[in-house]
Amino acid sequence: MTGCVSIRELGLLDYEPAWQAMQRFTNERGAETPDEIWFLQHNPVFTQGQAGKAEHLLFPGDIPVVQADRGGQVTYHGPGQLVVYLLLDVRRLGIGVRELVSLIEQGLIDLLADYGVQASARADAPGVYVEAAKIASLGLRIRHGRSFHGLALNLDMDLAPFRQINPCGHAGLAMTQLRDLVGPVDFNEVRDRLRQRLVERIGYTEQKTLTGGIQANEH
């Protein structure tokens, strides 16, 4: 078990200010800085990971495309999708990157089981799947032993933009969301449940909620 994690619930934000704030937090944190987990939603955006290839952007249309510094390929974020950024000192936690990915995936699987949905991870493609359809995507970056970026869980959103890309670099990959599996979902309830599942899986002994916004980079 480890110490305290700070939680921020940030609402609906554009992608780039949130991304810049993650970078700033990661660059400026010290050895004693508490880990933070941010819960939010994004306005519509496609993000390309470091391994992203242009051919997987089929026809982005009016949706902006951002070249991000996370792992993985292209994905879509939009309202109704729960995005969680994990700003963790993984070196201090004593876990490796692959183990962290597995803990996040298991937290998502635990959450979906709460709603009667049987989900699983895949060794060949990070994320969480319900049968052959993807319900949650993962993409992390580790810098100086600290993680940023995180996960995106489809709850109650417009899935159509996923058809404008090859999600996560996989042509024809089916996407699903919790609403289509169980009916209407309460966004805040799912957020609170996932918060608890992730805290348990990563092994924090305490959690506290921070108020106030986040600060983007000044450039």
Residue extents of the structural domains in the chain: 2-210
Which residue, chain included where needed, has tokens 């305490």? 206
Please list the helix, strand and coil fractions of the chain in percent, rounded to the nearest 5, in that order: 30, 35, 35
Q: What is the pLDDT of residue 1?
A: 58
pLDDT at residue 169 tops 90: no
d(CA 155, CA 172): 20
Q: Which two tokens stand for residue 158?
A: 């417009």
Q: What's the CATH architecture for 2-210?
A: 2-Layer Sandwich (3.30)
All residues at 6 or more sequence positions from 30 whose CB lies less than 8 Å from its CB, including other chains? none
pTM of the model: 0.95
Picking from 168, 74, 75, the residue whose alpha carbon sits closest to that of residue 124 is: 168
- Split at pLDDT 50, 70, 90, the class of 212 is confident
pLDDT at residue 197 tops 60: yes
100-103-104-108 Cα dihedral, nearest 10 degrees: 170
What Å distances lie between residue 36 and 44, 89, 100, 163, 183, CA to CA?
24, 9, 15, 33, 31
Q: Write phi, then psi, for 168 (nearest 5 degrees).
A: 60, 25
Q: What is the pLDDT of residue 216?
A: 60
Instruction: Note if 168 is an active site residue.
Output: yes
Annotated binding site: 70-77, 137-139, 150-152
- Per the CB < 8 A criterion, the answer to whether 21 and 216 are in contact is yes
Annotated binding site for substrate: 70-77, 137-139, 150-152
Name the catalytic one among 84, 104, 168, 214: 168
Residue 62 C-beta-side C-alpha neighbours within 13 Å = 1
d(CA 84, CA 78): 13
